[in-house]
Amino acid sequence: MKKIYRFFCFGLAIMASCSSDDDQSVVADTNDNTQKEIISPIELSDYDNGSGVMMQTFYWDVEPRGEWWTNLSGKIDDWAESGVDRLWLPVATKGASGGYSMGYDPSDYFDFGEFDQHGTVETRFGSRQELETLIEKAHGKGLEVIADIVINHNSGGGEEYNPYRDKNTYTLFDELHGNASGMFNRNFENFYPNSTSNYDDGSLFYAEQNLDHNQEYVQNWLWKSENSVAKYYKNVMGFDGWRFDYVLGYEPWVVKAWLDEVGGFSVSELWDGNADVLSQYVDQTGSGVFDFATFYKLEEAMDRFDDLTVLEGKMLWKTHPDKSVTFAANHDTEKDENEDNRIADENKLKAYAYILTHPGYPTIFYSDYENEAFKEPLKQLVQIHNSLAIGDAEVLYVDNDEYIMKRAGTDDNPGLILYINTSGNTKKRTIKSAWNNSYLMDYTKNVHGSITSDENGEALIEAPANGYSIWSIAKVN
pLDDT tens, position by position, 71-99: 999 999 999 999 999 999 999 999 999 99
Return the H-helix or E-strand segment holding 137.
helix 128-140
3-state secondary structure of 162: strand
User: Measured between alpha carbons, how far is 63 from 78 in angstroms, rounded to an integer?
Assistant: 20
User: Measured between alpha carbons, how far is 465 from 443 in angstroms, rounded to an integer?
Assistant: 17
pLDDT (0 to 100) of residue 24: 65
User: Measured between alpha carbons, how far is 464 from 15 in angstroms, rounded to an integer?
Assistant: 8
Tell me the mean pLDDT per 10 residues along the chain, length 477: 31 32 53 68 96 97 97 98 98 98 98 98 98 98 98 97 97 98 98 89 78 97 98 98 96 98 98 98 98 98 96 98 98 81 95 98 98 98 98 98 98 98 98 97 97 98 98 95
CATH architecture of 53-387: Alpha-Beta Barrel (3.20)
The angle that helices 345-355 and 292-299 make with each other, rounded to 10 degrees, is 140
Residues involved in catalysis: 245, 269
Pairing of strands 3-5, 26-29: antiparallel
pLDDT (0 to 100) of residue 460: 98
pTM: 0.92
Neighbours of 57 (CB within 10 A): 28
Average pLDDT, the chain: 92
User: Measured between alpha carbons, how far is 353 from 370 in angstroms, rounded to an integer?
Assistant: 17
pLDDT (0 to 100) of residue 17: 33
39 exposure class (CB count in 10 Å sphere: 0-12, 13-18, 19+): buried
35 exposure class (CB count in 10 Å sphere: 0-12, 13-18, 19+): exposed
First to last CA, the chain: 17
pLDDT (0 to 100) of residue 37: 80
CA distances from 366 to 359, 363, 399, 420 (A): 21, 9, 32, 24
Instruction: Please report, in range form, the residues annotated as the binding site for Ca(2+).
Output: 152
Identify which of 205, 80, 201 has the alpha carbon closest to the alpha carbon of residue 155: 205
Instruction: Please report, in range form, the residues annotated as the binding site.
Output: 152
The 8-class DSSP code of residue 91 comes to P
Tally the C-alpha atoms within 13 A of residue 369's C-alpha that lie toward its C-beta. 25
pLDDT (0 to 100) of residue 338: 67
Write down the domain spans for the chain: 53-387
pLDDT (0 to 100) of residue 207: 87
Backbone φ, ψ for residue 262 (5° rounding): -120, -15
Identify which of 419, 416, 437 has the alpha carbon closest to the alpha carbon of residue 427: 419
Beta-carbon contacts of 372 under 8 Å, excluding residues fewer than 6 positions away, are none
pLDDT (0 to 100) of residue 35: 55
Pairing of strands 361-365, 393-398: unpaired
Beta carbons of 324 and 316 less than 8 angstroms apart: yes
Angle at the Cα of 299 (from 416 to 407), degrees rounded to 5?
Answer: 15
pLDDT (0 to 100) of residue 7: 28
pLDDT tens, position by position, 14-61: 333 333 334 566 555 444 445 578 999 999 999 999 999 999 999 999
